[in-house]
A and B are shown apart, each in its own frame.
Chain A
């Protein structure tokens, strides 16, 4: 069983946006890309992925259109909008800063100072 319990909230949106930065992609493609680029380290439940896609569409970060897949089947393709691109930029920066901060704490060697209040 795969699960996404380990995913920090908002991270899924970020990953989906990032996957669409390469160009229009259908849901299945997004799932594959996330799985392969994390070397199977992050497993996303498919239904959560689709919920995320539709939510992002509601917020106008992505827009969808029906097209033909690689093997000529009708598939729904998602594509970043202008504001989606900006959102990806902002979230990536925020995420990097956050990850760096967490990493710094984890690597710290000074013990906490006892308070004298």
Chain B
């Protein structure tokens, strides 16, 4: 039995009451009174005229009272209409809920798909919002604070830098009237404490006016004063972050005056930064110190007036009457004046100063790779949401079609079409509302986890679901209501009463379900786009991972100890490294230990002067340099690099001073071209005697996993020029057990001396992980979301197929009775939906070809039109579609013809 509510019936039977009718009714009522009274008076013996006059007089002012009464009635009518509307929406909601509750499986599946769609977009929005759209927390009036960039062109390459030598800061402060103030900062990782208990913390060196410029007030104590970033420093003071204060200092209120051993020096805590403030880059900072207190140790004595160390990041606050344009013009003039003074040939003397906002989207350097990938992921989650919505639309449409008789009856009984549309939209609203509520719950639960997994190291706002996220979710929900509800509502608007009532149950399947086919096409197309995206990222990740960078990443561990910073003398440093090497060699599964001076992969690059006798000027190198390192004979076997030509250093060269060197392939190509450099003698640094090139080695990664085109010179360990160069790092080869070795090594080395700074030990696999992040992010998230999209689309396809089959039971029964075999029926039934999927596939592949152009620069050595990727995406979709449509179709062939025919 089908339930038919006839709430329209009561309304038709009830007298209609439009505002015009109201006045007429009141008039009639008064007239009746006057007439009755007149008749009464006539009966008591009056003439008709006198009686009527008397009746009128007794009534009082008819016109005035009529208006008053009509006003009262209008008010009543309005109220009752409002209540009726409210009651009918409640009724719709109850009815929709009851209808959906009767199909719990359907309700569950559609709600889950919607929840996934909304939750994915919501979580990605929270990432993008904080990464790209919101200024860093804690800064007051962030829109008038600007980041300063320097843009220059050298040898046809334009580069934009965010760091500068320190004197530029004072220059900009003095010569740019549009700036109210200019502050500098430098973030670094240093040792807290010493010896066994030493650990690493993030410290930021700031100019005295830094906190004042940002408008950040401490929650305890004070921040810095201008005098504190000048040299010589007398008292070393520090401001700690809220998180550091709570975890490291137990949140004690008497923390002011407490001493901290930071990078080997005693600091006095003078303040605690407010909760949530971590500088302007959303990176962790534990302790702030004035520049004067630490810059000498990091950048040398003359840091405040030398142009040779480029390290300070500058920010400025515009004056109230200053504009960015004026500041850029004035800043560029000051910048060029400073460059003329410095007279450094490697800087572009016609360079410009550019301003960027604190909000990361508007940086002159463009959006970071992570930002771009996050934006893409937001877009992709949006597509998943779209697919989920179209799924719900399909399901609701199917329900509406099943209910078309009921709808026609309602229309016949006088339910208005707009009321009917409301009723149909209520179902999508109910589903979308449930989905959105669940999505917010999911975001509360896992949002932070997703944020931290996607972008570890970034500092997130303390609340995951803030007002903006709520607003976004609400918007996504409204979108779902409309997208999912509009198709059934349109159907409701179009239904013709007589045609539907006359039609029999089975006959309507002849009408082309064009809308549903369109939805299937859309879902297939969107799924294919996501699958292609996933494929491209997976391929990129594989290409990056399998790239030969000269170091066997997962087999080599790097050990760095900042001994000089901790106050050790050169001889002590040599001693600690000697003992450290012995300890490491004693560890099981360690094969080689090699001490490195000069440049260290992923840690420091030292340029090394290089001259070929007889050649006046060497061409500039794309990656700068050449860079120099001083290595031992086992360096190459430790990292796993090969000698391409000539020979490696001998063990003897580790002990006996020799003027020999190796160069890398990049340097050989750049400076010697087709010539064989082996045997050539070149001058390094200010050496008066030449050094012989004994071999060419493959390129070993120095600064990054990709695009690392550094030209390298490797000097022999006892090259006479090396002199006082102290060890910078040790490389350890531990092929089977790098992580365990790294853990044990840290424990052992930390005990080498009571004054040990933090010993940083990490496998290269871990060190390059942040560089892999954009591809890893893209690959995992595209695959995940693409899989979800495909899953949702398959569920939708299955649902539509099941419905189609149930509608055509009669037809199938007839065909089977007439002798059609099972295969024919399966083909007949599934062909329609498979055709839709194939259309979608074509549309999707076409769109992917166009869309993939925009992710081309996020890919690594992968063509955005890689045919293998497109082919596998197509294959996956076709397989899924065949499974989803053949299963219900096969069930149809089990139909007993006799029963199907009797059902009519």
- Chain A residues with CB under 8 Å of chain B are 1-2, 26-28, 31, 45-48, 50-51, 54-55, 57-58, 66, 69, 73-76
Contact = CB atoms under 8 A, between A and B. Distances in A.
A54 B58 contact: no
B519 to A, nearest CB: 48
Contacts of A48: 60
Contacts of B29: 27, 50, 75-76
B32 A73 contact: yes
Nearest to B29: A76
B574 interface: no
B33 A27 contact: yes
A46 B60 contact: yes
B895 interface: no
Given A28-B33, A46-B33, A50-B69, A74 B58 contact: no
B28 A45 contact: no
B37 A47 contact: no
A58 B30 CA distance: 18
B68 interface: yes
A28 B32 contact: yes
B482 to A, nearest CB: 38
A82 to B, nearest CB: 17
B73 interface: yes
Interface residues of B, number: 25
16 contacts: A28-B32, A45-B58, A45-B60, A48-B60, A50-B33, A50-B65, A50-B69, A51-B69, A57-B72, A57-B73, A58-B73, A58-B76, A69-B32, A75-B29, A76-B28, A76-B32
Contacts of B75: 58
A66 B15 contact: yes
Interface string B670-692: 00000000000000000000000
Given A54-B72, A55-B72, A57-B76, A47 B60 contact: yes
Contact of A54 (B28, B35, B36, B73): B73
B36 A28 contact: yes
A110 to B, nearest CB: 44
A15 B57 CA distance: 22
Contacts of A26: 32
Nearest to B75: A58
Which of A2, A46, A73, A75 has the most chain B CB within a 10 Å cutoff?
A46
Contacts of B69: 50-51, 54
Contacts of B35: 73
B174 interface: no
Given A27-B32, A69-B36, A76-B32, 8 more contacts: A28-B36, A31-B33, A46-B33, A47-B62, A47-B64, A66-B15, A73-B35, A75-B29
A27 to B, nearest CB: 6
A24 B193 CA distance: 95
Contacts of A1: 57
Nearest to B62: A47
B72 A51 contact: yes
B143 interface: no
Interface in B47-75: 57-62, 64-65, 68-69, 72-73, 75
A51 B26 CA distance: 11
B542 to A, nearest CB: 75
Nearest to B30: A50
Contacts of A51: 65, 68-69, 72
B575 interface: no
A40 B181 CA distance: 93
A2 B29 CA distance: 21
A76 B57 CA distance: 22
Contacts of A45: 58-60
